[in-house]
Each structure stands twice: as structure tokens, then as C-alpha cells.
Amino acid sequence: MNLLSQYIVALSHLYGAVHKEVVVDIYKSQNDDEVRIKEVEEYLNNPSEEIEKHFAFSVGDYFAYEAIMEFDELDELLQKQSGRPRYIPEKSELLNYIDSFYFEKTAAYYKLYDYLLKYVLDGDEERTSDICEDVQGMIEVNASFRQVMSVFDHMHVDFIGKNQRETVKQLVKVLKNNVRLWINNGYTNKELKEMDFRDSSKKINRNQNSMTKKLGRNDPCYCGSGKKYKKCCLEKNEK
């Protein structure tokens, strides 16, 4: 992909949906070469297979992540984002979001990871990563706290008593406030609170299950191989 395509994909992943003018403004602020609105409109009017391969699709004046399009949630997302400031990372960090599964691993993430690894999962690094990635993913799509905690049941995690489960719940609550959210234009709830913005952890969509159906790294691959997506077609798609 050329650099403009990379920006379109990365911004779609970071914000869930991005207006063509925002693409131009952010691109110009981080690069010396000029980009015109007509160049971006060309991608809107003639969708690029290369961009769509990375789950970014055009609709009207916006580029949107596939899950937003699939469940017809663009208008609702834009309504939630309205009036909120926009988080714009440095270029090197922004372009990490070309990978649709990339996320910023915060101190809160590592605290959950370290506790699970040491006290719950007997040092199983792969299983710990799988669970933490799924928890992160559920938070990213604004799932309820109960839905987030259901990851542990789904992954057959056995807690030793109520105290251990309660500790994990508290760690998840901290993580939930430190995850970059689409409805926050990329900011975390904690960051917005520090900026005197109201906590935005309310549900974004009428059907809460819809956006949580986004294919995750640890889901069974859609090709039917029986392997996890990250060990199968994800690797093929990224080549």
C-alpha cells in the first residue's frame, strides 16, 4: 500500500470511522508531501481492493471498519463521537494500526497479564496472551462488563476462590478505563475524564452483540481449517 492508503486503513481502525477531511488533515500534519482531498475522494469513489483487504470500506464521505458497515452502525458511532476531541498519535504509532488487531499495551494491560500468568494460568504465556487479547477486544467494542468477564468462562479459566476472581475483576475494571475506544475518537475513558469529559462507557449500539462479533485473533478461522484465525488466514492475509 502507498502511504495514503496506509493512513486510510490505520485511521479507520483507530476511530472505527473517519471522514475524508480528517484523513487529509492528519496526513498533512505528519508528512511533508501534499495530499489533496480529490486524491482521498478517489478511494471513496473507487474502493481499493488493497484497502478493503484490511477491513476498511467506503461509505459516503467516510471510511469505516468492516464491523461498523456490517451492522449498519455508522450513524450511531458518529453521534457518540460528536463533540469529543480526537486522539492523534505520532506517525510511527498511528501506522501500527494498519494491523487491525494492533492495540496499545498499557500498564493496566500488563498488570492483568502478569497476574493471570503468575497466579491463575500457571505460567502459560500463550493462553494468557489469548485471554488478555480477547478481554481487550471486548472492551474495544464497548461490551458490557459482564460480557467482558464472560471471556474467562468461555476460555475455561478456573479461579481459586472468590478472592482471586475479585482481583481479576478489579484489574479488568482498571483496564476498561485505559483502552482506546472508537466512541471516544481514540481516547481512553481515563484520558477523557482527566480532560473533564464524561465517562463514555455507555453502550454504543442497540444490539450489543453485533459489534462483539468482530473476528478475533483467537476465534476459529472462517476457512474451516479448525485452526485459530491468527495461526491461519491472518498470516496469509498479512503476507
CA–CA gap between residue 207 and residue 41 (Å, rounded): 32
Q: How confident is the model at residue 224 (pLDDT cuts 50, 70, 90)?
A: very low
Domain 3-98 has CATH 1.10.10: yes
The residue-averaged pLDDT of 111-135 equals 97
pLDDT of residue 126: 97
Q: Which of 149, 146, 144 is nearest to 204 (CA)?
A: 144
DSSP 8-state class, residue 19: E
* DSSP per residue, 45-59: HS--HHHHTTTEEEE
CB count within 10 Å of CB 54 equals 23
Backbone φ and ψ of 62, nearest 5°: -120, 155
- Give residue 223's pLDDT: 47
Q: What is the pLDDT of residue 209?
A: 41
The pair phi, psi for residue 237, each rounded to 5°, is -65, -30
> In terms of C-beta distances under 8 Å and separation of at least 24 residues, what long-range contacts does 188-194 make, across chains too?
191/87, 192/84, 192/85
CA distances from 69 to 32, 57, 61, 178 (A): 32, 8, 13, 26
Question: CA nearest 13: which of 56, 74, 77, 70?
Answer: 56
Going by pLDDT thresholds of 50, 70 and 90, the confidence category of residue 23 is: very high
Mean pLDDT of 116-137: 97
Q: In terms of Cα–Cα distance, which of 209, 205, 207, 188 is closest to 140?
A: 188
Measured in whole angstroms, the distance separating CA 66 from the mean position of its chain's CA atoms is: 12
| % of the chain exceeding 70 in pLDDT | 82
CATH 1.10.10 residue spans of the chain: 3-98
The per-residue pLDDT for 233 is: 54
176/136 Cα distance (integer angstroms): 8
171-203 pLDDT, tens digit per residue, is 999 999 999 999 999 999 999 999 987 644 444
Q: Which grid cell is 24?
A: 487529509
Looking at residue 70, its pLDDT comes to 83
Integer Cα distance of 189 and 30 in angstroms:
26
Q: How confident is the model at residue 141 (pLDDT cuts 50, 70, 90)?
A: confident
Q: Is the pLDDT of residue 229 over 80?
A: no
Read off the pLDDT of each residue in 62-91 and give the average, rounded to a whole number: 93
Q: Does this model's pTM top 0.75?
A: yes
